[in-house]
Structure 1
Amino acid sequence: MVILLVLPCTQTSFASARKKKTVATETKKEPTKRQSKYDKLVKNKSCETARGEFVTLHKLDGKVYFEFPVKYLGREMLLASTISEASDNNLCAIGYKPKDPMHIKFTKTDSTIFMREVNVSATCNPQEGHMREVMARSFMDPIIGSYKIYCYTNDSSAFLLDMTSLFTGNSERLAPISSGGGMVEITAVFNSAGSILDGIKAFDDNVTVKSYLSYSVSAKMMGMFIVKKNEPLTVKATRTLLLLPEEKMHPRVSDTRIGVFVTNTKQHISTDEDRIQIYTLANRWRVDPKDVEAYKRGELVEPVKPIVFYVDDAFPAMWKEPVRKAALRWNVAFEKIGLKNVIQVRDFPKDDPTFDPDNLKYSCIRYVPAAITNAMGPSWTDPRTGEIINASVIIFNDVVKLANQWRFLQTSQVDPSVRTKKMPDNILEESIEYIVAHEVGHTLGLMHNMSASAAYPVDSLRSAKFTQKYGTTPSIMDYARFNYVVQPEDKGVKLTPPNLGIYDEYVIKWLYSPLYGLSAKEEQAMLESWIDEHAGDPIYRYGKQQVIARYDPSALEEDLGDDAIKAGDYGIKNLKYIVANMNDWFVDDTDGSHRENLYNELGNQYYRYLKNVMHNVGGIYLTEVKPGTAGKTFQSVPKELQRNSFVWVIKQLKNSDWLHNTGLTDQFGLRVALPPIVCYYTATELLGTYKNVVLSAHVSQDPYTLKAYFDDLYNHVWENAIKGRKPTSGEKILQRLVVDQAADVITKKSKLVKVLADPDEGLGMENAFMPSVDEIVAYGLDPTGLVGQYQNELRELEQVHGKGLVAKQLTSFGHGYDWQYRVNTRTIDDSKTYFYAYALRVKNLLNSRLASADSDTKAHYQTMLYALDEALNALNKK
């Protein structure tokens, strides 16, 4: 038994000894290398690799890995998303970047890589050493993402990160479409099952990752009209990670007296001043001269890096040449500051596999085959300096439809070639070139200058000599389309804006002129002096685009010249000529649809002329002025001009029957005639101008007062009753509206108690200067085109909720210097007193005319009296 018990142990020991011997023998052979985690990934036959000097990408099994060199930790980058393809181009424009690029950097803590948003909201004086530490504590870079290191490369010079979730997940900062409010409320539900990776590319300083992203989209307009409901949407997005240069561009501090786009507001913290200084940087490309010494000698020099635009191969063939010429015309302005061939235009390369129009490295002019009457020129910048890194010009197909309407309605009285359903090729090319040149101006950093066209005398626009030299405006960045002032008898007058205006060249000089040998303060002083020397000159004046508040009648869209009344008279005379001849001009329009569309747009054109004059009533000229230079920051429109404008619009509305040409309109479908429509909506706007008068009178030394306003309202709206004659249809509409308005104002309950309880209530006049639905449509203030599509429904909402309803939702107007917001006038608004006196005055007048009025007029007056009595009685019972 002992032997039996011991034997197994002996056998085990022997076996163990044999095993050790075998192992010992095997160790004498060449050891087998264990494959690293990095090799397992990159040497997998299914792994797709895009290798570059910056970051290398690996794509395997539906995942993307970034091979990130350690040396780039802490380096600043931009991460941007571009729409490459879409199943609905009304929601997603091809080539557009819906959101500003993310300014990021990567840092490492232990085994975790953090993606941080770089905080460049504040600067300090570098000579104050302690401020650097203060800034680091108070303006740290926030963490916006974290990634575990998947593995290191074999030489440990780089690490791999699984970045799949960033490119196939619902990343809000990179989403091509996202849920949100505004005029069109979008609800986009992300569909992860329909979202996958596509291609990867790597280059010297950037990488791109393409992915398909799917959503279920619903859309409501103003929260009421369902535009889409649970409709599928798939977008192919191209995301670019771009390494920013270590050598930053020299920034240029902006000046509010010149219209350029700016970076976000920054604050400068220094003991040099007793307060934190707020400033912005002008957005501009880096166009340093290639040969500085030659430039200093006054020679024309090419830039180190030109601005290159690539033209979409999707453009209709006829569009390509005007698109190219539009971009190149800006070289004239650069040549005047000593730089040549700054802008270059190239076609999409056919044989370059590295080219990608959606890569942040390439600036492109893109064509979108969508029925949107618009174009845009956005750009994206290095937030550190304002350097423009990338820009796109997006041209929607139906912008030519809008241009053709403009050309016909504004110039057909003098140009027979545009009296056709399809514009001649030369007119189409000319229009495309103008539109694209305007948008390229935006990509160079120029904002709209809505005051430019007001610099030229109206009668000069009828001069062949003047217009051939200067065009219709000092800036193509204004909305001054075509010459509607020119009369049929005028010969040789230029009908279009200039190639570039005086103001446009002035801005290019300020933005891009290289300055050498100057300190920062000396450079700032030099740039200010260039603006100072033109202070007070209307040709160089910058007028902000007015969207949120509309005070300044000299800074409007779609106007011409320095006298809105005179320009309106010329324009209306031309519209009458067009209406009278439209049937003869379109003999091939068998179903009348083309004429009906133009006729409707003619009503909008007439409305523009009326609105341009109407803005004089209670108007206030606004100008950015530096202390010590010419000009005033605000100045009321002279009272006589306000009165004349008020009376002019009333007379137009009382005599607008010329719009109803039965020989033309009888061929259209069942409809309400244009005169009462124009009269109703324009009069509604006009009767709200008393709110403008409150503020304008308050800031004027010689004001057009509320008393004078109501006297003019009485004398001209009730002129027929005063003179004892029958009212016209236009007068009846005006009278009904003004009585309804007076009744509403004098019976409205006091909000004083609510104001004391809630300071946000009862501010008054919040909508006084906001554009109406009709104004948004007429002036093209809606970038989506949806206001025009649903204008009838929106007008009904506007009547209930006020005209600011739509305007408040418009958020797509770019950025720059702050818009002029409304001024609260509650404390000085005594209009209710004047409405009460006005109502009594009208009541007495109508009572005195009842006996002598015919039956129709008597019924009209009795209706007005009933409304007035009801309002006055209600007030007396309080």
Structure 2
Amino acid sequence: MVMLFVLPCPELTFASAKKKKKATTEVKKEPVKRQSKYDKLVKNKLCVTARGNFVTLHKVDGKLYFEIPAKYLNREMLLASTISEASDNNLCAIGYKPKPPMHIKFTKTDSTIFMREVNVTATCNENEGHMKTVMERSFMDPIINSFKIYCYTNDSSAFLVDMTSLFTGNVEKLAPIANSGGTVEITAAFNSSGSILDDIKAFDDNVTVKSYLSYSVTAKMLGILLLKRNEPLTVKATRTLLLLPEEKMHPRVSDSRVGVFLTNAKQHISTDQDKIQAYTLATRWKLEPKDMEAYKRGELVEPVKPIVYYLDDAFPEAWKEPMRRGTLRWNKAFEKIGFKNAVQVLDFPKDDPNFDPDNLKYSCIRYVPAAISNAMGPSWTDPRTGEIINASVIIFNDVAKLVNQWRFLQTSQVDESVRGKKLPDNVLAESLEYIIAHEIGHTLGLMHNMAASAAYPVDSLRSATFTRKYGTTPSIMDYARFNYVAQPGDKGVKLTPPDLGVYDEYVIKWLYTPLPGLSPKEEAAVLESWIDEKAGDPLYRYGKQQVIERYDPSAIEEDLGNDPIKAGEYGIRNLKYILLHLNEWIQDDADGAYKEQMYNELGNQYYRYLRNVMYNVGGIYLSEVKAGTPGKTYQSVPREVQRKSFLWVLNQLKNSDWLHNETLTDQFSLRVALPPIVRYYTGTELLGCYKNVMLSAHVSKNPYTMKDYFDDMYTQVWESAIKNRKPTEGEKILQRLSIDQSADVITKKSKLVKVLTDEDVPAVGNEAYMPSVDEIVTYGLDESGLVSVFRDELREIERERGRGFVAKQMALNSFKYGYGWQYRVNTRTIDDSKTRFHAYAIRVKNLLNSKLSSADTETKAHYQAMLYTLDEALKALNEK
């Protein structure tokens, strides 16, 4: 019994000991640490991380996370998109940045990160204490996107946000292609299933993200001619997020008398003035001497940060050296203001994994294998100061074709080496040098100066001494081209523009000369004085490029010298000489296709000479002037010059049969001969100059009046009838055109408007001053090159929609580069053209009725047709 009573105790004791042992073991066990959300992401085997000193990128499972240190909140940045690859390089040029960079910053509210567009449209007087608060209230930074914080880093110094949608979605401001108007209207439907992330990289002050983006594209010319319908397009885009420096470049306020690119308009708000002051800043690189004291002593000094261009390794080998030489030309101008090696050219690095030509950090000269006869030099700036951050020069393959045409049609009368299908290497190199130098000028901040070439006397361009020293123009930023004035037998004449003109060096001085120690106001006074010194000197005159409205005959493209009639006569002599030898000079052309192409271009060159003179008719010289310095803002072309020009062009049209060389044209395909084509289109434009004459006469003290114009049109167009002779075919075309135009104006309905509220909207221009299809092609106003390809079709559209229709469409959407266009002047209140045409119609009707009985059968039929059109128009007018 005792044993039975005692025996259970050891069992209980043993069990208790087991429990205690187990409990002891559990206490000693280490707790499992919970992995942070950040670690789960970045330690994922599939996660690809690009870590830099600015922002770190994480890509995992098709998503992109930005790891943004909190210290970069409210810091200003640029976000831009570059085209790296494309399935159609006619729509997407490699290396091109299709849209200006987004100027952004990130802010945080609770758990949300906001992307804001930085508002830099206004500045204020910081000495007025209250003004800063006013500015913050009135010019806040708008929110353009928001992102939820995904997680924080383990030390909470940075946060992660999912930005996948920004780089693989259809973000309009970053899209490499988007719905747009202009010459080519593009409808691009985004294909999200064909869009995916690619490479990511991170650096000290920027990151890049590459994405494949897919679209279905429909493209039309002016909404009418279908070019593509729902065709697939894939683009590889490189997006760069670049941190802007906290220390801003000292800005330079612009002056309208110097042709430089500008920032968007800004306003200065201060009680110092009676009104808010509008102003713009000049765009320029931040160029500072390494040794300021040595610079002040007049020594050549290298800049702290030179302007470096990287040369594409895709260029044809023969093009690379001209590209370098043309770029480095600009060092001559920088040396004159004290900078040594300011501009540099480097090859694309072969062994630098960090180099990316599509990164905003690198400015590149790119080759694009596209059938576009053009080149361009855009740049991107810091909107706060106008500092150029990045520049690109895009050289399309077929620019060589353009050079070949220019050199043959403008210089082969003098230069035997260009008489053939292919230019010698040295001539091609010389021409490419000029083209790249012009485009580099744009990337340095210089705009086109279309008034430059008008500064030289025409006969000086035949002088070997003059042209060797000055070339063909005071500025390579003009479209002066090559020396078409030089005549056969002129020895030693330079046929090309100068390396740099005096105007080019003058602008570089104004843009880049350091003025240390001066306040912005003091600096502006010095810079203004430099321009005042040159005021009135044609060598330093800036003439805006005229795109929307074209008033000024001294500021046009593709002209030479100060007298377009004299220059035109020299040029036409040369064209006749070239046409006479075209068969002889162009060999190895069995099917005649190349000769036909050059023959057509010869017709275009002839048209340029006529059009250059035509701009005198009703022309108005325009200049940017300042009170107290020489010059007038506008001044009519002298009446005798206008009349002489009108008669000269009419005479050329009557006597242009030389264009039809049957020994040449018999080899070509079925076609209409050139003379009637030139007469029809040029005559249409010439007889539309009455609107130009109307405004020019209105602002002139000794005008070429509307009466003068219609008297001259009557005596010249109807000269054959007045002198009782049979009209030539050329005269018949001009007579038909003048009658059709009269009928059109007479029968057009007048619109009663409230003049005081009738705004001069640029989109509704005065058609007489807007470039026609032919002018757009002739003067290189279409960067796409497609107007030239579809020239005949667009002419028909222009006939239906009116002169200037194509230009209007282009102006509405394409010409937004900050040139400061001259818009139309509304002439409705002084327009008495219907009265003038009515009187002209009655006069012609009486003349033709008086000649019917004495005219031969063919001429009589022609007159009767003209009379029928006039009678119908006058009848319609009477019925109103």
Please give the range of the TM-score, normalised by the shorter of the 2 chains. Answer: over 0.9
Find the counterpart in structure 2 of residue 226 from structure 1: 226
Measured in 2, the distance between the counterparts of 1:326 and 1:507 equals: 18
Aligned counterparts, 1:331-350, within 5 A: 331-350=331-350
1:470 match: 470
Please tell me whether the aligned partners of residues 755 and 762 of structure 1 are also in contact (alpha carbons under 8 angstroms): no
Residue 379 of structure 1 and its aligned partner are, at CA, apart by: 0.1
Contact 1:309/1:362 (<8 A) preserved:
yes
**C-alpha deviations, 1:71-111, integer Å up to 9, x for none?**
11110000010000000000000000000000000011111
CA distance in 1, matches of 2:468, 2:298: 30
- What corresponds to 2:289 in structure 1? 289
1:793-872 alignment runs, 5 A limit? 793-810=793-810, 811-813=813-815, 815-872=817-874
C-alpha deviations, 1:554-608, integer Å up to 9, x for none? 0000000000000000000110111111011123211111110000001100000
- Structure 1 residues 317-358: Cα deviation after superposition (integer angstroms, max 9, x where no partner): 000000011110000000000001011100000000000000
2:438 aligns to what?
438
Distance in 1, matches of 2:27 and 2:444, equals 70
Unaligned runs of 5+ residues in structure 2 are 1-14
The answer (yes or no) to whether the contact 1:260–1:816 under 8 Å persists in 2 is no
Q: What SS does the aligned partner of 1:319 have? A: helix
Bigger mean CA deviation after superposition, 760-769 or 356-365: 760-769
Q: Secondary structure at the match of 1:808?
A: helix
Corresponding residue for residue 419 of structure 1: 419
Would the aligned equivalents of 1:743 and 1:871 in 2 still touch at CA under 8 Å? yes
Alpha-carbon separation, structure 1, partners of 2:617 and 2:775: 16
> Is residue 87–residue 233 contact of structure 1 (8 Å, CA) maintained in 2?
yes
**CA distance in structure 1 between the aligned counterparts of 2:651 and 2:32, rounded to whole angstroms:** 99
Structure 2: which amino acid aligns with 1:510?
A: W
| 2:131 is the alignment partner of 1:159 | no
Aligned position for 1:666: 666
Using a 3 Å threshold, how does the CA distance of structure 1 residues 758 and 534 change in structure 2: closer, same or farther? closer
Identical positions, percent: 79
Residues in 1 aligned to 2:93 and 2:426: alpha-carbon distance in whole angstroms = 28
- The answer (yes or no) to whether the contact 2:252–2:520 under 8 Å persists in 1 is no
Letter aligned with residue 836 of structure 1: H
Contact 2:760 2:824 in 1 (8 A): no
Distance 1:28 1:172 in 2: 60
CA deviation vs aligned residue, 1:531-563 (integer Å, no higher than 9, x gap): 000001111000000010000000000000000
The superposition leaves residues 480-525 of structure 1 with CA deviations (integer Å, 9 ceiling, x where unpaired) of: 1000000002110000000100000000000000001222211100
Give the Å deviation of 1:19. Answer: 9.4
Residue type of the alignment partner of 1:225:
L
- SS for the counterpart of 1:299 is coil
Q: Secondary structure at the match of 1:546?
A: coil
Show the counterpart of 1:146. Answer: 146
Amino acid at match of 1:826: R
Report the 3-state secondary structure (helix = DSSP H, G, I; strand = E; otherwise coil) of the residue aligned with 2:604: helix
- Contact 2:259–2:542 (Cα < 8 Å) also in 1: yes
Correspondence 1:371 to 2:371: yes
Q: Closer, same or farther in 2 for the Cα pair 1:49/1:463, shift >3 Å?
A: same
| 1:124-153 deviation line (CA, Å, top 9, x unaligned) | 001011100000000000111111111111
- State whether structure 2 residue 101 is matched by structure 1 residue 92: no
Letter in 1 for 2:364: C
Question: Which residue of 2 is the match for residue 635 of structure 1?
Answer: 635
Inter-CA distance 765–263: structure 2 relative to 1 (3 Å threshold) = closer
Give the CA deviation at 1:204: 0.5
* Gap change, CA 1:575 and 1:30, over 3 Å in 2: same
One-letter amino acid matched to 1:517: G
Q: Match for 1:728: what amino acid?
A: T
Q: How far 1:23 moved relative to its partner?
A: 6.6
**Comparing 22-31 with 704-713, which one deviates more in the overlay?**
22-31
What code does the residue aligned with 1:293 have? E
- Equivalent position SS for 2:514: coil
Q: Equivalent residue for 2:66?
A: 66
SS at match of 2:197: strand
Alignment check: 8 A CA contact 1:764 1:824 kept: no
| Range 550-559 or range 578-587, more displaced | 578-587
Aligned residues: 864
State the alpha-carbon separation in 2 of the partners of residues 359 and 751 from structure 1: 54
Greater mean deviation of Cα atoms: 583-592 or 767-776: 583-592
CA distance in structure 1 between the partners assigned to 2:19 and 2:273 by the alignment: 83
Q: CA deviation at 1:33?
A: 2.1
Equivalence map 1:468-547=2 (5 Å)? 468-547=468-547
Q: Rate the CA distance shift 1:493–1:755 in 2: closer, same or farther, 3 A.
A: same
Deviations 1:372-409 (A, max 9, x none): 01100000000000000000000000011011101100
**Within 5 A, what are the aligned runs for 1:208-247?**
208-247=208-247
Q: Which amino acid aligns with 1:354?
A: N
**Preserved CA contact (<8 Å) 1:754 1:761:** no
The offset of 1:728, in angstroms, is 1.1
Please report how far the alpha carbon of residue 763 of structure 1 lies from its aligned counterpart in structure 2 after TM superposition: 11
TM-score normalised by L of structure 1: 0.96
Q: Distance in 2 between matches of 1:185 and 1:871?
A: 37
Partner of 2:724: 724
User: Quick one: structure 1 residues 651 and 18, their matched pair in 2 at CA, closer, same or farther if it must change by over 3 Å?
Assistant: farther
Q: Paired residue for 1:124?
A: 124
| Residues in 1 aligned to 2:670 and 2:445: alpha-carbon distance in whole angstroms | 48
Q: Are 1:754 and 1:762, in contact at CA under 8 Å, matched by a contact in 2? A: no
Map of 1:9 onto structure 2: none
Amino acid at match of 2:830: I
> Structure 2 vs 1, CA of residues 374 and 21 (structure 1 numbering), >3 Å: closer, same or farther?
farther
The 8 Å contact of residues 763 and 826 in structure 1, kept in 2 or not, is answered as: no
Query: Using the alignment, how far apart are the partners of 1:743 and 1:104 within structure 2?
Result: 57
1: CA distance, partners of 2:380 / 2:98: 11
Structure 2 counterpart SS, 1:768:
helix
Q: Following the alignment from structure 1 to structure 2, what is the Cα–Cα distance between the partners of residues 191 and 520?
A: 50
Secondary structure in structure 1 of the residue aligned to 2:534: coil
Taking a change above 3 Å as real, the CA distance of residues 842 and 74 of structure 1, as seen in their structure-2 partners, is same
1:236-277 per-position Cα deviation (integer Å, ceiling 9, x unaligned): 000000000000000000000000000000000000101000
1:441–1:18 CA distance, 2 compared to 1 (3 A) = farther
Question: Which amino acid in structure 2 is aligned with residue 835 of structure 1?
Answer: F
Contact 1:263 1:386 survives alignment (8 Å): yes
Which residue in 2 is equivalent to 1:207? 207
Query: Is 2:327 aligned against 1:321?
Result: no
**What is the aligned partner in structure 2 of residue 407 from structure 1?**
407
* Matches of 2:547 and 2:758, distance apart in 1: 27
- Matched residue, 1:574: 574
Between stretches 725-734 and 329-338, larger displacement belongs to 725-734
User: Alpha-carbon deviations, 1:207-228, whole Å to 9, x = none?
Assistant: 0000100011111111111100
Alignment of 1:596-675 (within 5 A): 596-675=596-675
> Are the aligned partners of 1:783 and 1:812 in contact in 2 as well (CA < 8 Å)?
no
* 1:720 Cα deviation from its structure 2 partner: 1.1
Deviations 1:398-425 (A, max 9, x none): 0110111011000011111111111110
- Residue 259 of structure 1 corresponds to which residue in structure 2? 259
* One-letter code aligned to 2:461: L
Give the distance between the partners of 1:300 and 1:262, measured in 2 at CA. Answer: 29
Letter in 1 for 2:446: L
Q: Which SS does the other structure have where 1:509 is aligned? A: helix
**1:16/1:498 Cα in 2 relative to 1: closer, same or farther (>3 Å)?**
farther
Mapping of residues 174-189 of structure 1, within 5 Å: 174-189=174-189
Alignment check: 8 A CA contact 1:412 1:418 kept: yes
Secondary structure of the residue that 1:874 maps to in structure 2?
Answer: helix
- Tell me the equivalent position of 2:4: none
